[in-house]
Amino acid sequence: MMEAEVKSLSLRSMVIPLSKCAKVRENANLYEAVLALDEAQKKQKDFYKFKALLVVNENEEVVGKINPLDLIIGIEDNYRKVGDLRSASHTGFTREFINMMIERNRLWQDPLKDICRKAARHTVEAVMDKPTPGEYLEEDDSLVEAIHRLVLGHYPYLLVTKDGKTTGILRTEDIFKLLCEEIKSCEMS
């Protein structure tokens, strides 16, 4: 595929419509979120299964998202004592530091005990991330812009919008699949 062809490709053909995305209401609990993700995965025929949930309000507008790490952190109450894990994680952790954090904050002392109760007690709204402006892409934007946003932001997916409303998502794995298909079609000698 030539660079001009990549630039001219429409995102619309690669966007997963909001109606097919894994979604959960913001007032749901984490138990309900897991069930919603499971249900969406069962319906999906694609090799790349949904790993994240879009959080919607009563008007079906996307107000947040939950990725697998958000769910894991949300289940363990004691992570709230640790503080902002995302900014600290970029510096790297030694094994000693991690063990000290586990012991000091009593993280995952009995990991599966009361997991159902914890999942039912915590709300989606409490653990969800609100999308940043960099995570939105217009339907008419180029594939090149989408690729750059995914790469530079290290996003698993972008929210695709039209007229200010989220219409679907563009996942990194779908871009990866497109690029792999193009590479496989190259005639190498």
User: Domains in the chain, please, with CATH?
Assistant: 3-184 (3.10.580.10)
Report for 58-72, 108-122, 159-173: range of highest mean pLDDT: 159-173
Average pLDDT over residues 84-94: 57
- Tell me, what's the pLDDT at 169? 92
pLDDT in tens, 140-188: 888 889 999 999 998 989 999 999 999 999 988 888 888 888 888 888 7
Tokens coding 82:
């640790």
pLDDT in tens, 19-28: 888 899 999 9
The residue ranking higher by pLDDT, 181 or 82, is: 181
Nearest CA to 71 out of 155, 125, 127, 113 is that of: 127
In the chain, % of residues over pLDDT 90: 26
pLDDT in tens, 123-139: 899 889 899 999 999 99
SS (H, E, C) 69-106: HHHHHHHCCCHHHHCCHHHHHCCCCCHHHHHHHHHHHC
Q: What is the pTM of this model?
A: 0.73
The residue ranking higher by pLDDT, 12 or 162, is: 162
- Measured N-to-C along each axis, helices 172-184 and 143-153 cross at an angle, to the nearest 10 degrees, of 120
Q: How high does pLDDT run on average in the chain?
A: 79
Query: In what side-by-side order are the strands of the sheet with 53-56?
Result: 23-25, 53-56, 62-66
- Is residue 32 predicted with pLDDT exceeding 50? yes
